[in-house]
Amino acid sequence: MAPPRTLECPAMKDFLRKVPLLKGLPDRELDAVAAFAVSRKYRKNSTIFLENDSGDRACIVRSGLVKIQQVSPDGKAKTLDILDEGQCFGEMALICDNVRSASAIALRDTEVLFIPKEDFLKLVRGSAEIAFNIMRILSARLLAADRQIEDLVFKNLPGRIVSRLFELARKYGKEVEDGTEIDLEITHQEFAEMVGTNRESVSKLIGQFKKEGSLRAENRRFVLVDPEKLAAWG
């Protein structure tokens, strides 16, 4: 008889312990998740699922980066969020019994853990901790979406760009010698899709921030060197 999968995969359980969606779940239940989770690797830029697909599983980023994106009828892409290791996505279609509200694309070579719909819903119904974790995740998302709506209505492009830089710094920031580095490799094109503009406008403004000494941008990384000066653009 095959040994239980969790004994084979202590690394999997260590990983699951750090997943915010599963925070507070007892070891026994983590074993169950490790048993029914299925992992799959995706090459950079490949599609995990598309907006309007039917949703049959919840997803957790095991490694790499996932872009959550919507595309307008005229082909303009808007990145709603970028998710890194441990973050979950694809839960909304399962909870609301709806189609996918956005597409999920591997932004780098990425591994995703899938939890089948039935197992996921059983988990949510059986655990107040998980239900609370989901509320916390959805509340954070709503807050971020509210901020983006506010930016779109009240701010010009430089203000929106600065706002997005601050948001990424809150989520991915780490202190370095000369400021706060956004610990995420991101191209100007990818950043432009987060702001809802084109690459040229982003590159032009990033150039101005660099010139005034408020931002450092090298090797696809941003460092917020003078946040006060940057905030003055907003």
Give me the residues that bind ligand CMP (CB under 6 A), please.
Answer: 55, 68, 80-81, 89-93, 100-102, 141, 145
Question: What's the Cα-to-Cα distance from 158 to each of 108, 161, 180, rounded to whole Å?
Answer: 27, 5, 19
Cβ neighbours of 143 (radius 10 Å): 10
Q: Which is nearer to ligand CMP, 19 or 102 (CB)?
A: 102
Q: Which is nearer to ligand CMP, 16 or 48 (CB)?
A: 48
Cα–Cα distance between 45 and 135 in angstroms, integer?
30
**Closest distance between ligand CMP and the C-beta of residue 91, in Å?**
5
**Closest distance between ligand CMP and the C-beta of residue 234, in Å?**
21
Q: Which is nearer to ligand CMP, 35 or 149 (CB)?
A: 149
Tokens of 123: 């988990």
Pair 62, 108: CB distance under 8 Å: no
**Closest distance between ligand CMP and the C-beta of residue 217, in Å?**
25
Q: Which residue is nearest to ligand CMP, using beta carbons?
A: 93
**Closest distance between ligand CMP and the C-beta of residue 99, in Å?**
7
Cα–Cα distance between 100 and 92 in angstroms, integer?
8
Q: Which is nearer to ligand CMP, 192 or 223 (CB)?
A: 192
DSSP string, 70-134: EE-TTS-EEEEEEE-TT-EES-HHHHHT-B-SSEEEESSSEEEEEEEHHHHHHHHHH-HHHHHHH
**Closest distance between ligand CMP and the C-beta of residue 55, in Å?**
4
**Closest distance between ligand CMP and the C-beta of residue 167, in Å?**
11
Q: Which is nearer to ligand CMP, 92 or 217 (CB)?
A: 92
Return the ∠ at Cα 107 (arms to 112 and 60), rounded to 5°: 20
Instruction: Give the phi and the psi of residue 209 in degrees, each rounded to 5.
Output: -65, -40
Q: Which is nearer to ligand CMP, 100 or 160 (CB)?
A: 100
Contacts of 60 (CB under 8 A, 6+ apart): 19, 21, 37, 86, 87, 88, 112, 113, 115
